[in-house]
């Protein structure tokens, strides 16, 4: 479903966000609450924080690949960041609040 949209995204973080929203129905607020430690060790599951509790999302192979790509890029670009959110930018890498 989201493959066409994913292809149009310009960066690894954008492709991951599109996959999570389009393929896994992760809403904007939940997207900003994801933490680096939320994916399972195998990356096949992702913990989503919602207002009324937690939800486990089972990720497809495409999303797992996109998550791995983005996390590698994130750690390469900002190896010393203390921001606990995976979806960060140049502006938020030095901050610790929810991602924007």
Instruction: Assign 96 a pLDDT band (cuts: 50, 70, 90).
Output: low
Q: Find all residues with CB under 8 Å of 6, minimum gap 6, and list them.
A: 15, 18, 19, 22, 62, 66
Q: Do 49 and 37 meet the contact criterion of CB atoms below 8 Å apart? A: no
Delimit the domains of the chain by residue range. Answer: 3-77
| Rounded CA separation 71/55 (Å) | 21
pTM summary value: 0.84
Q: Could you read off the pLDDT of 48-87 as tens digits, one per residue?
A: 988 888 889 999 999 999 999 999 999 999 999 999 999 9
Q: Do 75 and 36 meet the contact criterion of CB atoms below 8 Å apart? A: no
Which of helix, strand or coil describes residue 58? strand
Q: Is the pLDDT of residue 39 over 60?
A: yes
């Amino acid at each position: 479903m989201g493959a066409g949209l994913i292809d149009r995204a310009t960066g690894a973080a954008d492709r991951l966000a599109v996959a999570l929203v389009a393929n896994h129905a992760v809403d904007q607020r939940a997207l900003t609450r994801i933490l680096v430690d939320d994916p399972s060790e195998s990356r096949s599951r992702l913990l989503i924080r919602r207002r009324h509790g937690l939800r486990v999302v089972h990720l497809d192979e495409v999303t797992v690949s996109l998550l791995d790509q983005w996390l590698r890029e994130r750690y390469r670009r900002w190896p010393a960041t203390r921001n606990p959110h995976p979806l960060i930018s140049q502006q938020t890498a030095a901050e610790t609040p929810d991602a924007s």
